[in-house]
C-alpha cells in the first residue's frame, strides 16, 4: 500500500467522495484558493470548481448555518473549521440546529453534515488555540464524534462520515497532519463506532484516541523493556463508543489506563471509566486510571506546555500504578 501523510489521506477521502457524489461539497475559510489552512483541500478547487469548493468570510456561525440548511434539503456539506477553537462561534448551529433537527422533526428531516478541522494542542499556540472539545460535543445527543489517529483511519473514517446520515463532529489532531502511514487506495471505509486493537497485550489495556494513540504505542514499547505486555486499543470514535471492544480487552488484561489529551474534569475518558467499572467491575484487579492534560489553560511557555501535555512517560507511570509496580 502507498505510504502517505494524514493530510493527504484526508485529501483523498474528500476527492473520492466528491467524485462519487455530486451532492458533497466543501465550505470554509481558505479551503479554495489557499487550498486549506493545513492544505487538506489541495487541488480540489481546480478539480471541482467554486460551486463545490466554497471559500467563506471569517464567519463560523454563518457558514455553519448555511451548511446545516443545505444538509436539510438533501446536500452533503463538509464544513471545515480552521480550528475547533474557532468553532465555538458556531456552537449554536452545531448543537441547537444540526444535532436536534432529526428529533424535532419527528425523523422527517436529517442533517447529513460533517464538521471537520484540527483539534487539540500543537506547539506554543497558547490557551485559546490549544483546546480539546471532544467531551463537550460527545455530551450532545444527536452528534457523532470521530477522532482518527492514523492516515488510514483518517481516510476511511472521513469517507464513512460523509456518507453518514447524521451530523458528524470530525476532529483531526493538529499535530498529526504530517504523520505518514500505509493507506489503501480507492474504496476504503472504516465503520464509525468500531475501535481497533493497535497492539495486542496481556497485562494492561491502554485506551486512547487521536494523538494519544502514538503516545500509548510508545508507552507500550517502554513497558515491554520491563517485561510488561500492554494492549493498545484505539477508540477511533468517542460517540458512539465501541463498548464491546473496550470491555473485551479489559476483561482480558484486568487492568486499564485511559489516556486523553483533554482536561481531566468531565473528560471523554470519564465516560469510558464509568462504563468499565459499571459493566465489569469484578474483572478489575485495580482501579482504572486516567492520564489527561493538566487542568489549566494551556501555557505558552514551551517548558510549561510540555509539562501540561500527556506523554508516554506519564502513561507508563500510570500503567505501573495499576500493576502495583511503582
Query: Structure pTM?
Result: 0.96
Report the pLDDT value the prediction gives residue 87, as an integer from 0 to 100.
Answer: 96
Report the pLDDT value the prediction gives residue 72, as an integer from 0 to 100.
Answer: 97
| Beta strands 230-234; 237-239: pairing state | unpaired
Whether 203 sits among the annotated catalytic residues: the reply is no
DSSP element (H, E) containing 17: helix 6-20
**Which of 16, 17, 29, 60 does the annotation list as catalytic?**
60
Report the pLDDT value the prediction gives residue 65, as an integer from 0 to 100.
Answer: 98
Encode pLDDT of 127-161 as tens digits: 999 999 999 999 999 999 999 999 999 999 999 99
Question: Is there a contact between 47 and 31 (Cβ–Cβ < 8 Å)?
Answer: no
Q: With a cut of 70, which residues of the chain have pLDDT below it?
A: none
Q: What structural domains and CATH numbers belong to the chain? A: 3-182 (3.40.50.970), 196-322 (3.40.50.920)
Q: Measure the CA–CA gap between 260 and 221, rounded to whole angstroms.
A: 19
Encode pLDDT of 223-244 as tens digits: 999 999 999 999 999 999 999 9
Report the pLDDT value the prediction gives residue 110, as an integer from 0 to 100.
Answer: 95
Report the pLDDT value the prediction gives residue 160, as an integer from 0 to 100.
Answer: 98
**Which of 129, 139, 196, 254 does the annotation list as catalytic?**
129
Whether 139 sits among the annotated catalytic residues: the reply is no
Closest Cα partner for 35 from 15, 19, 17, 20? 15
Cα 103 to Cα 57, 97, 142, 193, 208: the distances in Å are: 31, 10, 8, 21, 31
For residue 168, give the C-alpha cell: 458528524
Burial 6-27 (b: 16+ CB within 10 A, else e): bbbbbbbbbbbbbeeeebbbbb
Q: Measure the CA–CA gap between 274 and 216, rounded to whole angstroms.
A: 21
Amino acid at each position: 500500500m502507498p505510504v502517505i501523510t494524514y493530510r493527504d489521506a484526508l485529501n483523498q477521502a474528500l476527492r473520492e467522495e466528491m467524485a462519487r457524489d455530486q451532492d458533497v461539497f466543501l465550505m470554509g475559510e481558505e479551503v479554495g484558493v489557499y487550498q486549506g489552512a493545513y492544505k487538506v483541500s489541495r487541488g480540489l478547487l481546480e478539480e471541482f470548481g467554486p460551486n463545490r469548493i466554497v471559500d467563506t468570510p471569517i464567519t463560523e456561525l454563518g457558514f455553519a448555518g448555511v451548511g446545516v440548511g443545505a444538509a436539510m434539503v438533501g446536500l452533503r456539506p463538509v464544513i471545515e473549521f480552521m480550528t475547533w477553537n474557532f468553532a465555538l462561534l458556531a456552537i449554536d448551529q452545531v448543537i441547537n440546529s444540526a444535532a436536534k433537527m432529526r428529533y424535532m422533526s419527528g425523523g422527517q428531516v436529517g442533517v447529513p453534515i460533517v464538521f471537520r478541522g484540527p483539534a487539540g494542542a500543537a506547539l506554543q499556540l497558547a490557551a485559546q488555540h490549544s483546546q480539546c472539545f471532544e467531551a463537550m460535543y460527545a455530551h450532545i445527543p444527536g452528534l457523532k464524534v470521530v477522532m482518527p489517529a492514523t492516515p488510514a483511519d483518517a481516510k476511511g473514517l472521513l469517507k464513512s462520515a460523509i456518507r453518514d446520515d447524521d451530523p458528524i463532529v470530525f476532529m483531526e489532531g493538529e499535530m498529526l497532519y504530517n504523520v505518514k502511514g500505509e493507506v489503501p487506495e480507492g474504496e476504503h471505509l472504516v465503520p464509525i463506532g468500531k475501535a481497533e486493537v493497535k497492539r495486542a497485550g496481556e497485562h494492561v489495556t491502554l485506551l486512547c484516541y487521536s494523538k494519544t494513540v502514538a503516545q500509548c504505542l510508545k508507552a507500550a514499547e517502554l513497558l515491554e523493556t520491563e517485561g510488561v505486555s500492554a494492549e493498545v486499543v484505539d477508540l477511533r470514535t468517542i460517540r458512539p463508543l465501541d463498548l464491546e471492544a473496550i470491555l473485551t480487552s479489559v476483561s482480558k488484561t484486568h487492568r486499564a489506563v485511559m489516556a486523553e489529551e483533554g482536561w481531566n474534569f468531565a473528560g471523554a475518558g470519564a465516560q469510558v471509566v464509568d462504563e468499565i467499572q459499571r459493566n465489569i467491575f469484578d474483572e478489575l484487579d485495580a482501579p482504572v486510571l486516567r492520564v489527561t492534560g493538566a487542568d489549566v489553560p494551556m501555557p505558552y511557555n514551551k517548558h510549561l506546555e510540555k509539562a501540561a501535555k500527556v506523554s508516554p512517560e506519564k502513561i507508563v507511570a500510570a500503567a505501573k500504578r495499576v500493576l502495583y509496580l511503582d
